[in-house]
Every structure is written in C-alpha cells, then in structure tokens.
Structure 1
Amino acid sequence: MESPMRESRRAFCFMPTSAPRGCKHHGCKQLVQAGQRYCDEHRTAHAWADRRESASARGYGWRWQQTRKRILRRDCGLCLVCAAAGRVTAATEVDHVVPKEEGGGDDDDNLQSICGPCHTAKTGREAARGRGRAKV
C-alpha cells in the first residue's frame, strides 16, 4: 500500500507543461495551447507565416550577415533616416535604399543603417507604392 503523500504527488504529474497563451492575431482574446500561435479562427488567415522561407533561402544568409555588420560599422551604428531628421537613434537593421523589387542591389551604396520604427514606416510606404503598380 502506498502512502497518502506519494498518491498526492502523483496527482500533480498531469499538469500541463505551460499555460495557454493568447492568440497572436491583433485583438483576439482566444487562448491557444503551447506550440500554437493562432486560434482555429485565425490560423488559416496567418498560414503564410508558417510557410515563409528561411532567411538564407530568401537571400539573407551568411554573406548578408557579413554585409549587414559592415554597413552598421560604416554608419557608426546610427539610423541614417533619424540622423537626416536631426535625431540620434541606434540602428538595428540594414535597409536597401532602392528596394530590390524596384531594381536596387546589394552593393554598399544602396544600403543604409536604419532603426526598427523607420524601417517599418519605409517598408509600409514601399508596399503602398507596390500595391499601386500594375502587375505585368
């Protein structure tokens, strides 16, 4: 016969490994289990995130990481967009001045150090411009 203490410990062995988290869809309050990012309602809307190619497959492998470090060093780790507006902000990303989709390349003259908020704003403007172009 087992002691009551051992039986009570066994009852706690079936606890979940982690608490449910909120769905990552903006504004959704549904809880999802560990290992999932979206609830059933939003999973299909965000399925592209699970199918996205690796950074290396998208052209941002080892060579890009070396270029990124060199550009951040060249620009002293400062956001050039903020510097042009008279602000001093640490750069965390490297951006193509002329986007690759518009014919820009990976040469150093077409790359700039940029902070996250400036990069998000610039990418948004470029996406809006891209949506306005007719697909040929």
Structure 2
Amino acid sequence: MRYCIHDGCRNLLEPGRYYCDEHRKKRKPKGKKRNAFQSVNKSFYRSDAWQSMRQFIYERDKGKCTKCHKFVFGKSAHIHHIEPISKSPELKLEETNLTLLCNKCHAEEENKMSKAPLQSLKNTLARGQGRGRLACKKTKFSRGGKG
C-alpha cells in the first residue's frame, strides 16, 4: 500500500496506482518543460551524498515545511537551496543552506528568486530614482546553467 502522491493527500491506494480517485482527475498533464534540477544537476540529485543530506534535513526539520509548518512526505517534501547551486555550488551540501519546504512554498521561494532582478528595478523606479529618461539595455535573465 502507498499514499496518493498528490501534495498533502493521505489516501491509501491499491498497488500500481499513484493517485486516489479524487486527485486522479485533478492531476496536471505532463508537459515538456523541465526544471533545471532535472537536467543540469540530475547526477547530483541522484548521488548518495545528496540522498543522505536530504534525509538528514527532513529529520532535522521534523517533516514539516519551515515556512507554513505543514507536514510533508514523499514527493511533496522539497529540500530548498537557500543560496542557489548556480550561484554558490560549494554550498550545495551545506546543511545551513538547506531547508524543508512543501511544494507550494518551494514554488513561491523559487518564483521570488527568479523575480529578484525585476523587483530591484521596480524598487528603484518607485523611489523616484528613475525619473526622466530611462536608458535600458537588453538584459538576459537566466536561472543558471548555460545561457
């Protein structure tokens, strides 16, 4: 027996099933988009060192999301790098740089990180420092990796 893999669902399933009846209808179709960890860092996330650290962080944080304090398990338990691997690869296995988050909070944190350069520009404009002519050059923002 296993649990439904929908975030936070505790319904038990028959062997060979991944979603309960309630969540089978609601599940998102698989798209072609993949997160960075699924390609660039795939070997790292499959390493024994990462699996061991992941288990340690899960136990340290007592299985609860450190942001919303919801109990998480299985695929809904995300270990978040506070300082991204792309910026500080030396911290990828540093326990002080890792925290347990639920799927929703992890998406929010990742979204904040990707919007940081734009937010900085918005803050500058809001303070009135961008009045008058604003000269902008084309800037390519990326989340790390090749680009």
TM-score normalised by length of structure 1: 0.50
Query: Percent of pairs identical after alignment?
Result: 20
Tell me the residue number matched to 1:102: 87
TM-aligned CA distance change 1:134 to 1:54, over 3 Å? closer
Tell me the residue number matched to 2:112: 125
The whole-number CA distance in structure 2 between the counterparts of 1:100 and 1:54 is 11
User: In angstroms, what is the RMSD of aligned CA positions?
Assistant: 3.2
The whole-number CA distance in structure 1 between the counterparts of 2:78 and 2:40 is 18
Gaps in structure 1 of 5+ consecutive residues: 1-22, 25-36, 39-45, 83-87
Structure 1 residue 64 corresponds to structure 2 residue 45: no
Gaps in structure 2 of 5+ consecutive residues: 1-27, 120-138, 142-146
The whole-number CA distance in structure 2 between the counterparts of 1:109 and 1:68 is 12
Deviation at 1:89, TM superposition (A): 0.4
Deviation at 1:129, TM superposition (A): 2.5
Number of residues paired by the alignment? 86
Q: 2:86 is paired with a residue of what secondary structure?
A: helix
RCO (CA 8 Å, sep 6+): is it higher in 1 or 2? 2
Runs of 4+ in 1 over 4 A off after TM superposition: 130-136
The whole-number CA distance in structure 1 between the counterparts of 2:88 and 2:40 is 22
Aligned-partner residue type, residue 123 of structure 1 = E
Larger radius of gyration: 1
Structure 1 residue 90 corresponds to structure 2 residue 75: no
The whole-number CA distance in structure 2 between the counterparts of 1:97 and 1:54 is 18
